[in-house]
Amino acid sequence: MVLEVDEKTKTGETELDLEIVLLEEKEEERTPLPPYTTDAMLRDANAILKIPAKEAMKLAQDLFESGLTTYHRTDSTRVSDVGLRIAKEYLGDDFTPREWFMEGAHECIRPTRPIPKDTLQRLIQEGVIQVEGITWRHLALYDLIFRRFMASQCKPYRIKTARYLIRFNGREVEEERILYAEGKAVELYKWSVWVKKELPVGKIRVKAEVRTVPKAPLFTQSDIVQLMKERGIGRPSTYATIVDRLFIRNYVIEKNGRVIPTKRGIEVYRYLASNYGSFVSEERTRLLEEKMDAIERGELDYYKALKELYEEIKQIT
């Protein structure tokens, strides 16, 4: 049993007395996750396959150019009629059509054929499908794209959850766990749910493992891409490039899968933040991207936007 709680223990204390109460158990259906957009694909490639963002984009580019997947620079989860037909052919009775409609110039990232990874690998080896330079890393990313897309077109899957009340050291915390999950969507894309063991109910004494947590969280490349998406920084075509630039300029290094700022990175950040804070902030980046989107939609004159930006920059030169 693994149970994580945010609690300071007394010096030298290696055991805790817990009282665990089962509050509720229930079964429910859940809709599978939507197919991949660029940011979601980069996050999974890094978190699941341990592939850096830059390499993941290169692999996706190769898969696209080989005709194995659709365009990989997209922020849309929309599924075309062709995509629905491909999913239906593969899934059969497990198929439940979902367009996952979202506006965008492209559709989601998906396979172009109803062919799973192992079959694709055999067809390439036999020369039935003729593509060059496809490595096992290409196939690993293809498999991830295939599974996520097919899962998104499956019937809802069933889960059983349990909600517990945990008392210790005069405190009370609640924890909800997924005890099991079943359905074709979970079989295809198991990373959509985290199944844990049920907790023993009653009073128990457990060993405590004390962990030191850094004041500032250390992010993976996957976390950074997710933050950029959430905060409106970058576009599908630039997520990997932005992360890669941090490494190229020696602003960060990677250790044990975590991105760590270097002395140079910290000094550059401090200098820019103290001297040009309003021009390099996340808010400024987000607003500029909103203006670019408005120009692209014809809602804002590009000359007016450039003039406003020029006048602002003149104030610091």
Residues annotated catalytic, as ranges = 71
Which long-range contacts (C-beta less than 8 Å, at least 24 apart) are formed by 79-85?
Answer: 79/35, 79/107, 79/108, 79/110, 79/152, 79/153, 80/107, 83/107, 83/108, 83/110, 83/149, 84/153
Q: Judging by DSSP bridges, how do beta strands 171-182 and 157-168 pair with one another?
A: antiparallel
Closest to 121 (Cα-Cα) out of 96, 153, 146: 146
As a whole number of angstroms, the distance between CA 229 and CA 220 comes to: 14
- The tokens for 5 are 């709680």
- The tokens for 232 are 């409106």
Point out which residues pair with 159 in neighbouring strands. 28, 181
Question: Cα separations (Å) of 304 from 24, 66, 226, 284, 300?
Answer: 59, 42, 32, 17, 8
Closest to 32 (Cα-Cα) out of 185, 208, 216, 259: 185
As a whole number of angstroms, the distance between CA 306 and CA 257 comes to: 40
Report the amino acid identity of residue 290. E
What burial class does residue 252 get, using C-beta atoms within 10 Å of its C-beta: 0-12 exposed, 13-18 middle, 19+ buried? buried
